[in-house]
Structure formats: structure tokens, C-alpha cells
Chains A and B, each alone.
Chain A
Amino acid sequence: MIWQAFCAVLRRDLLLAWRRKSEGLSAVFFFVVVAALFPLGIGPELNVLRNIAPGVLWVGALLSSMLALQRLFEADFRDGTLEQMALSPIAMPLLIGAKMLAHWLVSGLPLVLLAPVLGLQFDLSGEALVTLTFALLLGTPILSLVGGVGAALTLGVRGGGVLLSLLVLPLFVPVLVFGAGAVEAQVSGLGVQAHLSILMAMLLPALFFGPLASAFALRIALE
């Protein structure tokens, strides 16, 4: 029954994202545009492009996931769906976890899949592209999970978007440092394992505490 409720929330959010395609695509489109404009603006200096590539792609991913975050709970808060989740006999963190997973599948996974294609414009080597993809695969769920807590805390607050950025962007810094660092380490010939391990070490507690803390914050927002 618990599993069924988890899947129901996941399916509903994915179906909603499918029927409101433009909303979900705007964040992904933003990422593509940002990453595509940099090489055009900087010019065909391959050494420079190679050096800035990890940072540009990661910052693009980070900002585009910020765009999507603001919508994570807003619609459900306005139409009363969150109330029903709070009153469900199923544990609320589980239902919120399903929402976060759906959010990542819609706004995080496309970035992971697009990054290697966009990385080509920066003349990244094959290995560097693989590292970039792996680092994003580990890092973008952290953005959804930690960002979800921020979205829950700023729910229903006027000007919540600005507050959300102030609250969440500092927490994204370690992910940015180690995510972009992994690609740089690969390019400069150092091993990437340390960086990826640290990303993994950040992801695991985020997986546990993210839904828990968000559910707690949402209950306060519903009062």
C-alpha cells in the first residue's frame, strides 16, 4: 500500500509534467541556452573553453534547477493537494520523496543527459565528458533534495523566490565545487574518485534527510 502511494504520487507528477510540457521544458531550455551561448561569446579559443567548461556547465545546471525548484510545491500548496498528503495515513516524507524523485526526473535527468552533448562545444575529451555526466548524475539529485527543503521552507512566503535563492545557493556551493572539480581533476590527470566519493557522501544524507525535513517544513507551512 505504501509502495502504491509512492508510485501514485510519482506517476501523477510525471503525468502533470507531461501535460504541462512548457513549464518543465523552460528550465531545460535555459540550461541549453546558457551553455550554448558561452562558447559563442568567448570565441574559438579551445584552451580557454576547455578550462571554463566544467564551471559553466555546472553553474548552468545549478541555476536551471533553481528555476524549477520554485514550482516544486507551489501548485500542490494552492490546490490543497498538500493538505491531503499531510492527512494521508501514508508517511508524508515518503510522498514528498516521490515528488522530489519526479522533480529530478523532469528537471535534473535531462541536464545529465544533455551535458555531454553541450560539453562537445567546449572541446572536452571523451573521458572528461564521462566524468562530467557522472558528476552531474550524483550532483543534480542533491540539488533537488536540498533545494526541496528550501522550497518547502519558503512556501507561501511573498517574494519566496528571492528568499529561496538566498537560502539554497550557499548550500549548493559544495556540490558545485566538487562537481566541477571532478571534471577539472580528470582534465589535469588527477584521479576523479575522491571528488565523486565526496559527491556520493553528500547525496546519501540528502536522500535520507531531504524528504524528512521537507515534510516537516511543509506541515508548518500548512498551519
Chain B
Amino acid sequence: MTLGVSNISCVRGHKPLFAPVSFSLQAGQALHVEGDNGVGKTSLLRIICGLSPADAGEVLWNGKALNRLHPEAVEAFRATLCYMGHNLSLKDELTALENLLFDAQVAGRSLSHDTAMDALRKMGLNTRAHLPLRVLSQGQKRRTALARLSVTDAKLWVLDEPFVALDAQSLDSLCVLLASHVQQGGMLLYTSHQAVALSQPHGPAVDIRPLRLVGA
């Protein structure tokens, strides 16, 4: 399982956003995408997921260009991908539990009621699981979205600003979750303006590779 990015660039309004980027990511590695506001971190993540096309360069999944993969291989890539963007794909009218359950089913995963409750409990939302999302705070909404991570079997996590709006306690539990994902052979790609150490309790810290985007 390898994710490769070779000389990706992204053009917005006739102007390249960032200088061409290349890296490769193996199972058990984490990559932290840094850069100033508006330099194109979100655009880069969307290109890697296949939501937007790259204006130059290629995204390689196991050595093959993503946009030239067979439909079945694309399906397999999407089954290993868990993307969380700025929009959390949560419905205000549904409860936290319903959001989590529907989301898993749309992603083609089956999720039992108990497992979902367990995931919400881990995120400290057990008393809020049956409330409609519109009455929850911004941080609690983000925690609902992040609960997805602890029930997914996807290996490649692509997270856009996962640490925003979290209190200290949820930040810690997210870091543990991310660390255990990477240390169990997952791949992690995230953007953040904060430097956060990822480690499990009493465990070694995950070696995070930085990738600094610079404007072109």
C-alpha cells in the first residue's frame, strides 16, 4: 500500500497555487501538510482523494495513476479511503447516532448500533448521542464527525484540520486514535496549523513527516 504524489500542481484563476509537490507515503507513516492560509492545503487533499483533478502531475496509488485506474481499482481505493473535509457531512436534523450510522452505510460499511454508541462514548458524546445535532456545540459536532474514524476500517485517512475546535480532552483522545491508527499500519495525511504530537499513552510518539506547501 503506497500513496505517491508526483509533481502535483493546482491552478486557480490562471495562477498556480503552490510550487509542485512530490512525496510518497507508506503504510505506518503520517504526513503533516503545513502552509499559510490559502496556499492550497485543502485543494491538495481534494486532489489526492480524487475529488478534483490535478492541473499537472499525478497521484499514484500502489504505483498506478489514480485517474487511469480500472473502475474496480477505484472502488478498492475508495474503500480504503476516509476523507474528512471542512464540511463534516452531518445533518442538523438527525441525532449524532443516526448521523454516524447513515454515514457508515453510505460509505458501504455495515455498522452495528452498539459499535456506533461505543465510538460516540469514546469521543465523550454518550449523553448527547440521541440529541439532534443542531443543539450540539461546534466542538461536539466535530467530535461526532471524528467518531467516524474509530469505526472505519479504511487504511488511508485524509483529514483537513482535524484538531480545530476541540477541547483539551478530545484533542488527547484524537491524538491517541491517530497514533494507534498509524502504528497499526494505517496511513495518515492531515493539515493543521498546530504542531501536535501523536502518541499512545506510554508509547513512542509517531514520527510525523512534515510537508510544507509554499506559494508558487
Contact = CB atoms under 8 A, between A and B. Distances in A.
Interface stretch (B58-66, B71-79, B192-200): B71-79
A158 interface: no
A84 B91 contact: no
Given A79-B87, A80-B88, A83-B87, A88 B93 contact: no
Given A1-B110, A8-B106, A84-B106, A223 B91 contact: no
Given A87-B49, A88-B78, A89-B79, A5 B91 contact: no
A202 interface: no
Interface residues of A, number: 29
Interface string B114-133: 00000000000000000010
Grouping DSSP codes into helix (H, G, I), strand (E, B) and loop, the A interface class, with mixed when no group exceeds half, is: helix
Interface string A9-49: 10110011001100000000000000000000000000000
B22 interface: no
Interface residues of B, number: 29
A12 B102 contact: yes
B87 A12 contact: no
B57 interface: no
B92 to A, nearest CB: 8
A89 B73 CA distance: 10
B211 interface: no
Interface in A86-142: 86-90, 95
Contact of A83 (B75, B89, B98): B89
A84 B89 CA distance: 7
B110 A87 contact: no
B146 to A, nearest CB: 14
Interface in A169-207: none
Contact of B105 (A4, A20, A78, A86): A4
Contacts of B86: 80
A163 interface: no
Contacts of B110: 1, 4
A104 B98 CA distance: 23
Nearest to A95: B106
A8 B88 contact: no
A85 interface: yes
A85 B51 contact: no
Given A20-B93, A80-B87, A86-B51, A15 B98 contact: yes
B167 to A, nearest CB: 23
Given A88-B78, A223-B51, A223-B53, A79 B91 contact: yes
A222 interface: yes
Closest CB pairs A-B (n = 8): A80-B87, A8-B105, A80-B89, A19-B93, A89-B79, A89-B78, A81-B89, A84-B89
11 contacts: A1-B110, A4-B110, A5-B105, A8-B102, A8-B106, A12-B106, A15-B94, A75-B91, A80-B89, A84-B107, A222-B51
Interface of A: 1-2, 4-5, 7-9, 11-12, 15-16, 19-20, 75, 78-81, 83-90, 95, 222-223
Interface of B: 49-53, 75-76, 78-79, 81, 83, 85-91, 93-94, 98, 102-103, 105-108, 110, 132
